[in-house]
């Protein structure tokens, strides 16, 4: 049966029809070049995003730098570097908090009476125990605006508060604002109504100067409940307050009579104002 399509002139070698059919198939499915393109691209992707270099594995900051050098060419790598940078910052921050607040002896460190340790000694001790970080990473953690947990003074570093080891931060007594705030979660309310706020494994109860900060603190453990503290009345009654370098207010304990509990909570656990501040 005739199709009405001219087969075209044959090639000199007699294979023109075969080549023509091959081109037609490639044009129809659009896949003739894809395998070759993928093969050419995949090695470059592996080089850009892999971690075959053992030195990169041992020094995560080098990997972040490697990604940042490529971010102008590939926005996906820029986002990946930012995510890695954030995770790395949190990891280093938690490591510093653990060993400056609670377990310096695990690294063979001996803070002085005010909690200070030499930065070079800390970095070397951490590396000797399998956790490597750089001075630049430490400085980045210290300067992080949302979690000011540490202070650097010259060649030394210490945690601003939250210690379970025996130290004296040397903070002078301060006059608190009329109200301070404490973030917690609902499962602790029954005990707090009975016993008040206790320092537990810390030296002091931690209080926030504003409701928003207390809400963020409570949210670390679940749906936040924010308690108001009548700090002016406490101060009049002889309770001592101190304020740390990062603005956290410290006091030995808060008896239940100075606490104001919100009557109810909004959607998502957000506290409803109780009229105390």
Is residue 215 domain-shared with residue 247, that is, in the same domain?
yes
* C-beta of residue 143 within 8 angstroms of C-beta of residue 96: no
Is residue 140 domain-shared with residue 188, that is, in the same domain?
no
179 CB-near residues (< 8 Å, 6+ apart): 228, 229, 230, 231, 232, 276, 277
- Name the strands in the sheet holding 180-185, side by side, starting at the edge strand that comes first in the sequence: 180-185, 224-229, 259-260
Q: Categorize the per-residue pLDDT at 222 as very low, low, confident or very high, splitting at 50, 70 and 90.
A: very high
Q: Tell me, what CATH number does 205's domain have? A: 3.20.170.30
What was the pLDDT predicted at 200? 85
Residue 263 lies in a domain: yes
Q: How many domains does the chain have?
A: 2
Residue 110 lies in a domain: yes
Pairwise CA distance, residues 158 & 267, whole Å:
39
Q: Of the given ranges (43-57, 107-121, 219-233), which has the lowest mean pLDDT?
A: 43-57
Residue 206 lies in a domain: yes
Residue 172 lies in a domain: no
Residue 16 lies in a domain: no
Q: Of the given ranges (64-68, 224-228, 242-246), which has the lowest mean pLDDT?
A: 64-68
Pairwise CA distance, residues 34 & 152, whole Å:
55
What was the pLDDT predicted at 161? 83
Strand partners for 157:
117, 152
pLDDT at 62 over 80: no
Q: Tell me, what CATH number does 109's domain have? A: 1.10.10.970
Residue 50 lies in a domain: no
Is residue 191 domain-shared with residue 118, that is, in the same domain?
no
Is residue 134 domain-shared with residue 220, that is, in the same domain?
no
Is residue 191 domain-shared with residue 247, that is, in the same domain?
yes
Q: Of the given ranges (11-20, 105-114, 257-266), which has the lowest mean pLDDT?
A: 11-20
Residue 71 lies in a domain: yes
Q: How far lies 62's CA from each of 58, 85, 134, 258, 264, in Å?
A: 9, 11, 10, 51, 49
Is residue 198 domain-shared with residue 258, that is, in the same domain?
yes
Is residue 249 domain-shared with residue 207, that is, in the same domain?
yes
Across the chain, how many H-helices and E-strands are there? 10, 9
Is residue 125 domain-shared with residue 212, that is, in the same domain?
no
Query: Mean pLDDT, to the nearest integer, of 223-247?
Result: 95
* C-beta of residue 63 within 8 angstroms of C-beta of residue 48: no
Residue 203 lies in a domain: yes
pTM of the model: 0.55
What was the pLDDT predicted at 87? 87
Is residue 67 domain-shared with residue 145, that is, in the same domain?
yes
Pairwise CA distance, residues 156 & 59, whole Å:
23
Is residue 209 domain-shared with residue 155, that is, in the same domain?
no
Q: Of the given ranges (9-13, 68-72, 112-116), which has the lowest mean pLDDT?
A: 9-13
Is residue 153 domain-shared with residue 212, that is, in the same domain?
no
What was the pLDDT predicted at 59? 55
Which residue is it, tokens 């730098």?
65
**By residue range, what is the domain housing residue 103?**
63-159
Q: How far lies 35's CA from each of 26, 32, 42, 53, in Å?
A: 12, 7, 10, 28
Q: How far lies 196's CA from each of 83, 139, 225, in Å?
A: 40, 37, 15
């Amino acid at each position: 049966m005739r199709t009405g399509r001219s087969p075209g002139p044959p090639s000199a070698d007699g294979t023109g029809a075969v080549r023509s059919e091959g081109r037609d198939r490639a044009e129809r499915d659009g896949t003739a070049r894809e395998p070759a393109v993928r093969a050419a691209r995949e090695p470059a992707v592996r080089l850009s995003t892999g971690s075959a270099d053992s030195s990169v594995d041992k020094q995560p900051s080098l990997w972040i730098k490697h990604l940042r050098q490529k971010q102008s060419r590939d926005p996906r790598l820029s986002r990946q570097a930012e995510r890695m940078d954030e995770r790395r910052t949190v990891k280093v921050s938690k490591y510093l908090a653990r060993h400056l607040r609670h377990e310096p002896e695990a690294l063979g460190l001996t803070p002085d009476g005010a909690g200070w340790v030499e930065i070079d000694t800390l970095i070397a001790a951490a590396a000797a125990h399998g956790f490597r970080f750089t001075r630049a990473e430490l400085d980045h953690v210290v300067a992080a605006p949302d979690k000011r947990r540490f202070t650097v003074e010259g060649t030394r570093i210490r945690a601003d508060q939250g210690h379970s080891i025996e130290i004296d931060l040397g903070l002078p007594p301060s006059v608190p604002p009329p109200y301070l705030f404490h973030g917690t979660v609902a499962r602790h309310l029954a005990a707090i109504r009975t016993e008040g706020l206790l320092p537990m494994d810390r030296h002091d109860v931690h209080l926030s100067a504003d409701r928003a900060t207390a809400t963020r603190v409570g949210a670390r453990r679940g749906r936040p409940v924010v308690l108001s503290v009548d700090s002016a009345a406490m101060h009049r009654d002889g309770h001592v307050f101190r304020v740390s370098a990062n603005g956290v207010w410290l006091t030995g304990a808060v008896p239940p009579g100075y606490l104001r509990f919100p009557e109810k909570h909004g959607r998502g656990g957000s506290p409803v104002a109780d009229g105390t501040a």
